[in-house]
Amino acid sequence: LLISSAKVVVELAKVALIQAAVMLHPSFVTVDDIKSVKVPIAILGAEIDNLSPPELVKQFDEILKASEVPI
């Protein structure tokens, strides 16, 4: 079982066990994960990242902007 620290952070953010979150290189985080986030979250991706490419990070950003979660 391979779990990234970003995946742990997003799981905590989905059940609001933390007040805010920051993820670097959000490996193994999915669009569905981001749709379930309940706390403010910052996502910092890399320009070259095979597991979480910039296009995916941009999609995460768009989902968060459209949600009711303050950013």
Measured CA to CA, the distance from residue 25 to residue 17 in angstroms comes to 21
What is the DSSP track for 6-48? Answer: HHHHHHHHHTT-SS-EEEES-TT--HHHHHT--S-EEEE--SS
pTM reported for the whole predicted model: 0.88
Question: Across the strands, what pairs with 23?
Answer: 43
Q: Where are the domains of the chain?
A: 5-66
The string of pLDDT tens digits covering residues 19-69 is 999 999 898 999 999 999 999 999 999 999 998 999 999 999 999 999 988
> How far apart are alpha carbons 18 and 55 in whole angstroms?
27
The tokens describing 60, both together, are 């995460």
